Amino acid sequence: MAELQPFPPGGRRVDRPTEAALCSNCGELVGRGYPDCAICAERIDDLWWADWRHLLSSTGVQAGTDEELDLARRVLSDEVGAYPWTCTDWALWLLRCAECGGQLGSGDPGCVACAASDAARWAWDHQALQHRRMTPNEHALRVAVAGLRAPHRHRSAALAGWRLALPFLFIGQLPTTSQAQRIRAHILAGRYDELARLDGFCAMASLPDLPWRSTS
Ligand SMILES: [Zn+2]
Ligand SMILES: [Zn+2]
């Protein structure tokens, strides 16, 4: 079944930087201020926007019109894998949820309609990863961006982890499972500021334990 769907790639129309650089606006590594810093948001969202812009031009639809909202509804109602994952996300960002009034798929945490839209979003990744139509880095990038755009739906430790990771996911890196676990343990130990000064997943995972702190 899944082979019949195209699963077009997403986020590959824009060349990504090869090194994490400081953002001229927020002063942190590009991506770490996402989505509140305008420059961080612009740089990251450009991967999504390039695909959506291409879809708009190929369908003759103008941005900011009712036709664009109709297109977003069509994208979401089509089969999983019919459009790039970036376009699925952009469609969700454009539409409001009819049930809870929030952004579709990331509104009220208890909203059934949002839960259904969110589940459809991740069905794309589940199938595409199996068929190698999406890289693990692209999946991690999508997860981090979706999470940071819906902070009310996640624990602060998860948000901190995505914020720390995004600059390095953006340049194509991916933590190993054990690195991710180590970094998470450091976050839970309240060491975000120390982690934020380090250059990459390897360095963050290698932050030495501070056992003498455990009684403080
Ligand atoms: Zn920034
Ligand atoms: Zn909702």
Give the distance (Å) from ligand 2 centre to CA of residue 75.
18
Cα–Cα distance measured from residue 91 to residue 78, given in angstroms and rounded to the nearest whole number: 12
Give the distance (Å) from ligand 2 centre to CA of residue 109.
8
Q: Which of 47, 55, 89, 51 is nearest to 71 (CA)?
A: 55
Q: Which of the pair, 65 or 131, is modelled with greater confidence?
A: 65
* 132-164 exposure pattern, b = at least 16 Cβ within 10 A, e = fewer: ebbbebbbbbbbbbbbbbbbebbeeebbbbbbb
**Predicted confidence band at 59 (pLDDT cuts at 50, 70, 90)?**
very high
pLDDT in tens, 19-45: 999 999 999 999 999 999 999 999 999
Domain boundaries, the chain: 23-155
Any idea which ligand is nearest the CA of 152? 2
Give the distance (Å) from ligand 2 centre to CA of residue 7.
26
Any idea which ligand is nearest the CA of 102? 2
Q: Which of 216, 215, 190 is nearest to 207 (CA)?
A: 190
Q: Which residues surround ligand 2, an ion (CB under 5 A)?
A: 97, 99-100, 107, 111, 113-114
Any idea which ligand is nearest the CA of 92? 2
